[in-house]
Amino acid sequence: MSRDRTPRTLALILLALLVSGQFLPQWTLFLVTVALAKGLVVLGLMILLRCGLVSFGQALYYCIGAYAAGMLGRLFGASDVFTLMLAGMAAAGLVGFVLGFLLARYRSIFFGLLSLAVSMILYGLLVKTEALGSTDGFHVLPSTLFGLRPADAWVRYTVLAVALLVAFIAALLVHRYLGTPLGRLASAIKDNEIRVEYMGASARHAIHVKYVIAAALAGLGGALAATTVGHIDPEMAYWTTSGEFIFITILAGTGNVIAPFLGALVFGVIQTVAFGISPNTWQMVLGGSLLVVIVFLPNGLWSLFRGRKAA
C-alpha cells in the first residue's frame, strides 16, 4: 500500500462539509448530524466486527450516553455540548469496562445475544422508571457552546460543526488505533484465536480493549444524538435500535473509518426517501436495499470507492 491517504481524505471531508454546511437547507444539516451520531456508534461496531464479533446490544451504550447527557442537564443544568458528550462517553465507557470482563469471554452468537440481553434489561428498567418519564422519555435542554447559545438560524450549523469535529477526531484516533499492533490483531482473532494465543497475545485482553472503545464511541454518539434530537426515550436501548446499527455496519463495510459515517448517511437518506415516497411500504424498500447491497457489494458501500481507487 502506498501512503496512508485516510487522514487527508478525512480532513478534506471535514472542510468540505464545514464550508458547504453554511449554505445547506436546515433539514439536511439535521440529517447529517444524526448520521454522524449514528456513524460514531457504527465506528465502534466496526472495530468489533473486524475481529468477528457482532454486538446485538450496542444500543445499550447509545442509550447510556444519551441518558447521561440528558440527566446531567436535568439534574445539574449542565448544557455545554462538550461536557455532555464527555459525560456520555465516560458513562458508557465505564459500563463497557465493567461488562467487558464478562463479555470478552464470549464469541459468535453468544456474544451477540448476551449483549442483547444486557441492553434489554436496561430497557426494562428505564420503562419502569417513572422519574425519567417511562416510555415517553424526556426533553433534553438545548445545549450551549462554551457558555454561549448561538442565534436561532445558526443553531443547526453549530451543532453540525461540533458533530463534524468530534466525528473527525474520533475517526482519526480509531484509524490510528487500527494501525497499532493491538488494532491489527483484530483480523487475526477473527481468523483463528488459538493461533493468536500461541503467538503470545491475549485475545481476551484485546477484545476487552476494543469493547470499551466501542462502548465509549456509542456513548459519544448517544450524547450527540440526545443534544441534536432534543428528546430521549428508552427505545434507544431497544433491540431494534441495535439492529439498525448492525444494519448500517453491514451496509457500510469495514474497509475504512470513513465507511461508518458514509453508511449512516446513506441509511438516513434511504429511510427518509422511503418514508416520503412510500409511507405504506417503507420497510420493503429498506429490506430490499439491504439485500441489494449484500448481494452486489459484499464488502459494503465502501467497496465502491476502494474499487475505483484501484482502477
Partner 1 sequence: MKIVNVTHGSFYALGAYAAASITGALLARGMPPSLSYAVLLGSALLVSVIVAPLIERGILRFMYAKDEVVILLITYALFLILEDVIKMIWGVNPYFIAEPYGLLGSFDVLDLTYPYYNLILVGVAIACGAGLAWMLGSTRTGKLLVAVIHDTEVSRAMGINVDRMYLYTFTFGSLLAAIGGAFTAPTVSVVPALGVEVIVLSFAVVVIGGLGSLPGAALGAVMVGLVRSAAIHYLPQAELFVIYLVMAMVLAFRPRGLFSIAEARKI
Partner 2 sequence: MYFVDRLVIAMTAAAFAPAASLAQEAPLKIGVVTFLSGPAASPFGVPARNAAEIMVEMLNGTKVPAPYAARGFGGAALQMQLVDESGPATTQVTEFRNLAQRDNVDMVIGYVSSGNCLAVAPVAEELKKLTVFFDCGTPRIFEEKSYKYVFRTASTATMDSVGAALYVKELKAGKIKSIAGVNQNYAWGQDSWVDFEASMKQLTPGVQVATSQMPKLFAGQYNAEISTVLGAKADVVHSSFWDGDLEAFILQAGPRGLFKRSTVILTTGETAMYKLAEHIPDGVVIGARGPYGPYAPDNELNRWFSKTFADRYGVPPNYAAYQMAQAILGTKAAWEKAQSANGGNRPSTDQAIAAFERLTFESPAGKVEMVIGAGHQAITETAYGVSKLVKGKMTVANVKRYPATMVNPPDGVKAADWIANGFKK
Rounded distance, CA 66 to CA 219, Å?
7
Tell me which stretch binds partner 2 (CB under 8 A): 21-29, 93-101, 179-187, 288-296: 21-29
Options 106, 138, 177, 305; binder of partner 1; rule CB under 8 A: 106
- Are the beta carbons of 231 and 135 closer than 8 angstroms? no
- Give the nearest distance from C-beta 82 to partner 1 in angstroms: 33
Per-residue cell: 210: 476494543
Q: Closest Cα to residue 171, out of 251, 97, 263?
A: 263
Query: Which residues make beta-bridge pairs with 138?
Result: 232
- Give the nearest distance from C-beta 302 to partner 1 in angstroms: 15
Q: Based on CB atoms, which residue is closest to partner 1, 141 or 266?
A: 266
Radius of gyration of the chain (CA): 19
Place of cell 460543526: 161
Check binding of 139 to partner 2 (CB under 8 A).
yes
Check binding of 279 to partner 2 (CB under 8 A).
yes
For the chain, the 3-state helix, strand and coil shares in percent, each to the nearest 5, are 80, 5, 20
Name the binder of 28 from partner 2, partner 1, none, CB < 5-8 A by kind. partner 2
Check binding of 4 to partner 2 (CB under 8 A).
no
Please enumerate in sequence order all residues whose Cβ is within 8 A of that of 210, keeping only pairs 6 or more positions apart, or say none: 47, 48, 51, 53, 186
Name the binder of 241 from partner 2, partner 1, none, CB < 5-8 A by kind. partner 2
Buried b (16+ CB within 10 A) or exposed e, 150-167: eeeeebbbbbbbbbbebb
Neighbours of 16 (CB within 10 A): 10
Could you tell me how many residues of this chain bind partner 1 (CB under 8 A)? 41
Q: Which string of x and - marks every residue 187-206 that binds partner 1 (by CB under 8 A)? A: -----x-xx-----------
- Give the nearest distance from C-beta 109 to partner 1 in angstroms: 6
Running DSSP on this structure, what letter comes out for residue 77? Answer: -
Q: Based on CB atoms, which residue is closest to partner 1, 172 or 290?
A: 290
**DSSP secondary structure string for all residues of 57-114:** TTHHHHHHHHHHHHHHHHHH---BHHHHHHHHHHHHHHHHHHHHHHHTT--HHHHHHH
Check binding of 128 to partner 2 (CB under 8 A).
yes
Q: Which string of x and - marks every residue 74-103 that binds partner 2 (by CB under 8 A)? A: ------------------------------
Task: Give the C-alpha distances (Å, rounded to integers) separating 217 from 13, 131, 139, 171, 190.
Answer: 20, 27, 23, 10, 21
Check binding of 118 to partner 1 (CB under 8 A).
yes
Options 211, 247, 267, 302; binder of partner 1; rule CB under 8 A: 247
Between strands 138-139 and 231-232, the pairing is: antiparallel
Options 16, 76, 284, 307; binder of partner 1; rule CB under 8 A: 284
208-227: contacts with partner 2 (CB under 8 A): 225
Check binding of 34 to partner 2 (CB under 8 A).
yes
Residues that bind partner 2 (CB under 8 A): 9, 12-13, 16, 20, 23-28, 30-31, 34, 127-128, 130, 133-139, 152, 155, 225, 229-233, 235-236, 238, 240-241, 268, 271-272, 275-276, 279-280, 282-283, 304-305, 308
